[in-house]
Amino acid sequence: MTDIIHLPGIGNSGRRHWHSRWEADDPSIRRFAPACWDEPDLSDWIAALEHAVRAARTPPVLVAHSLACLLVAHWHRVSDRPIAGAVLVAVPDPASPVFPAPAAGFADIPRMRFRFPSLIVASTDDPYGSLPYVRRQAEHWGSALTVIGAAGHINGQSGLGDWPDGRALLRDFVTRVQAGAGVTRA
């Protein structure tokens, strides 16, 4: 069984967010725990992610939302800990006028190719990250990209509920990673 670590974005994920719903349904999913969700400090978030990865029984799959997608890129640059892969949902653009000011420390995003398989899941109408921007990040990181249509920021306000299609994407990703099949662009 593959360990799953959830990485919510700024403000954490509330009760209506699919992160929280999936965790309620599957208590084996763990959430990383930075010191502060609302005033994110990049060094603290990297240390919290490093701690969560070290605590995993097996190389985990990271499931990141929003700001935590940028965290994965920063963590990858400084850590050599093995992970099975990463699913990055709703990658935000730090140059966007709606990017949260408290997250400015995450803005200088590493563009190096990830050493692990990754899948970006994007919406056609995400106010925090346009599709052209997300496509460029997928190229930089070597990530597969799945566009799910108009789903806003793919969060609790998107009306996705338990987001069964997202769970299916994660199951498929984990199956491919475990089989060594890699991840293909969708």
Tell me, what CATH number does 115's domain have?
Answer: 3.40.50.1820
Q: How far apart are CA 102 and CA 157, in angstroms?
A: 21
The pLDDT, as a whole number, for residue 183 is 59
Instruction: Flag whether 137 is in a domain.
Output: yes
Q: Which residues pair with 174 in a beta bridge?
A: none
The structure's pTM equals: 0.94
**Spatial CA neighbour of 87 closest among 73, 69, 75:** 69
The pLDDT, as a whole number, for residue 181 is 64
Phi, psi of 13 (to 5 degrees): -110, 120
Instruction: Flag whether 71 is in a domain.
Output: yes
The pLDDT, as a whole number, for residue 182 is 62
Local structure of 12: helix, strand or coil:
coil
Residue 113: DSSP 8-state: P
Residues of the chain with confidence (pLDDT) below 50? 185-186
Instruction: Flag whether 185 is in a domain.
Output: no
Burial 133-165 (b: 16+ CB within 10 A, else e): bbeebbeebebbbbebeebbbbbbebebeebee
- Please report, for residues 9, 84, 126, the alpha-carbon distance to residue 88 in angstroms, rounded to integers and kept in the order given: 11, 13, 14
Instruction: Flag whether 186 is in a domain.
Output: no
Q: At 59, which amino acid appears?
A: P
Give residue 70's domain range. 4-179
Q: Domain count of the chain? A: 1
Instruction: Flag whether 160 is in a domain.
Output: yes
Instruction: Flag whether 105 is in a domain.
Output: yes
The pLDDT, as a whole number, for residue 79 is 97
The pLDDT, as a whole number, for residue 27 is 86
Q: How far apart are CA 72 and CA 75, in angstroms?
A: 5
Q: How far apart are CA 74 and CA 84, in angstroms?
A: 17
Q: At 142, which amino acid appears?
A: G
Query: CA torsion 120→122→128→134, rounded to 10°?
Result: 60
Instruction: Flag whether 114 is in a domain.
Output: yes
Instruction: Flag whether 55 is in a domain.
Output: yes
